[in-house]
Amino acid sequence: MSFEPVVLFFLLGVAAGLARSDLKIPSSIYDALSIFLLLAIGLKGGVMLAEHAEPGMLLDGAVIVLAGALIPFIAFPLLRWVGRMNRADSASIAAHYGSVSVVTFSVGVTFLAQEGQAYEGYMIAFLVLLEMPALVIGVLLARHGQGSVKWGKLLHEVFFGKSIFLLAGGLLIGYLAGAEGIKPLDKLFFDLFKGVLALFLLEMGLVAAGRVADLRAHGPFLISFAMVMPLIAGLLGVVVAWSVGLTLGGALLLATLYASASYIAAPAAMRIAVPEANPGLSIGAALGVTFPFNLFVGIPVYYWMAQTLYRFGG
Partner 1 sequence: MNTSNRLMLTVVCEAVLEPLLEEELPPLGVTGYTITDARGLGSHGRRSGAWRKEGNIRVDILCDPALAERVAEHLRREYEANYGLLIFSAPVQVHSA
Binding footprint of partner 1 on the chain (CB under 8 A): 24-25, 27, 30-31, 153, 206-207, 210, 264, 267-268, 271-272, 275-276, 279-280, 283
Minimum CB–partner distance for residue 275 and partner 1 (Å): 4
Rounded Cα distance between 158 and 133, Å, is 10
Nearer to partner 1, 240 or 268 (CB): 268
Nearer to partner 1, 52 or 150 (CB): 150
CA distance 61 to 194: 28
Q: Of how many residues is the chain composed?
A: 314
Contact between residue 97 and residue 229 where contact means Cβ atoms under 8 Å apart: yes
The minimum distance between CB 87 and partner 1, in angstroms, equals 14
Give whichever of 19 and 58 is closer to partner 1, judged by the CB atom: 19
CB of 161 to partner 1, least distance (A): 10
- What angle, 0 to 180 degrees and rounded to 10, lies between the N-to-C axes of helices 102-115 and 193-209? 130
Q: Tell the smallest beta-carbon distance from residue 208 to partner 1 (Å).
A: 10
Cα distance between residue 131 and residue 68, in whole Å? 10
Residue 167 or 306 with smaller CB distance to partner 1: 167
Residue 135 CB, shortest distance to partner 1, in Å, is 14
| CA 256 vs CA 66, 75, 307: distances in Å | 16, 16, 14
Cβ proximity to partner 1, 209 vs 238, nearer residue: 209
Helices (H), 130-247: 131-143, 151-160, 162-181, 183-186, 193-209, 212-244
Q: Which residues of 61-73 are buried (b: 16+ CB within 10 A; e: fewer)?
A: eeebeebbbbbbe
